Chain A
Amino acid sequence: KQEVTQIPAALSVPEGENLVLNCSFTDSAIYNLQWFRQDPGKGLTSLLLIQSSQREQTSGRLNASLDKSSGRSTLYIAASQPGDSATYLCAVPISGGYQKVTFGTGTKLQVIP
């Protein structure tokens, strides 16, 4: 059974800091991994999708890496801003052929102005 863990559960940083969020998974036979952000009372916004053949993906100030062999992914946020405050979730597939995924419990990020 695929289990996904995210550390830390909560993080508070001053504006401008670079930070790293961690995601680990138990079954390394995945074909992709997706990072989302969730704002309070809202749905999930897709940030980055990394295919198993890739080692990293970048979008603006965000960079996500994937190390299948060690069962880990990191989300790096550069020059954090108060608007980055949200809960960040990673998700990995638990079935082949379609995006049935299991989520971690998330990291709640607060960026202090």
Chain B
Amino acid sequence: DIVLTQSPGTLSLSPGERATLSCRASQSISSAYLAWYQQKPGQAPRLLLFGASSRATGIPDRFSGSGSRTDFTLTINRLEPEDFAVYYCQHFGSSPRVTFGQGTKLEI
């Protein structure tokens, strides 16, 4: 089974800074099936990126994604106050069909 490990568990930054979040897969995966989500307290997750680097509708361009095989990165440039949230990576594969990482909390 594929396991997604996110790091760090918590990232403390200030508005205006750049955040770099990591998602590491236990085996090589296709970037086409790697997505990133943002979740704020009391809200459902929101899709940020799909295909590792394609922004979902309405997502500002300060959010970007990269990576391949086992290492993927979500970068958030020029942090805004509303960006402080929990971020999850997710893979769509064969077995299990869907896997989530454990999340990274981005805090001020």
Binding partners A and B: no
Which residues does A use to contact B, with CB under 8 Å? Answer: none
